[in-house]
Amino acid sequence: MTATDWLQWPAMLATAVAAWAVGSRHAGRRVSGFRLFLASNVLWAVWGAGAAAWAVVVLQLVLAALNVRGARKAAHMRSAAE
């Protein structure tokens, strides 16, 4: 296994922990989960590029964009509620 191959394990762990954190009732934990999801997107994209898995790279870019969109939408809804 190359060094890039090993990236799939921390990427998988980061994704699983991020999914757990995003489902939290605590706002701070949800924000941490969002940031961890973005970090996992980077890890998966690096792994995908190293493995020439271009569909994975594109998927991670799309998922990162959706995460950012969701965060902006949630921030807009919070400011509208205040």
- Among 44, 34, 32, 26, CA closest to 66: 34
User: pTM for the whole thing?
Assistant: 0.88
Q: What is the pLDDT of residue 15?
A: 97
Tokens of 12: 């998988």
pLDDT at residue 82 greater than cutoff 80: no
Task: Dump pLDDT digits (tens) for 21-74.
Answer: 999 999 899 999 999 999 999 999 999 999 999 999 999 999 999 999 988 888
DSSP-assigned letter for residue 23: T
The amino acid that residue 22 corresponds to is V
Handedness of CA 21, 23, 28, 32 (dihedral sign): positive
CB neighbour list of residue 33: distance below 8 Å, 6 or more residues apart: 17, 18, 19, 20, 21, 22, 23, 24
Distance CA 41, CA 82 (A): 32
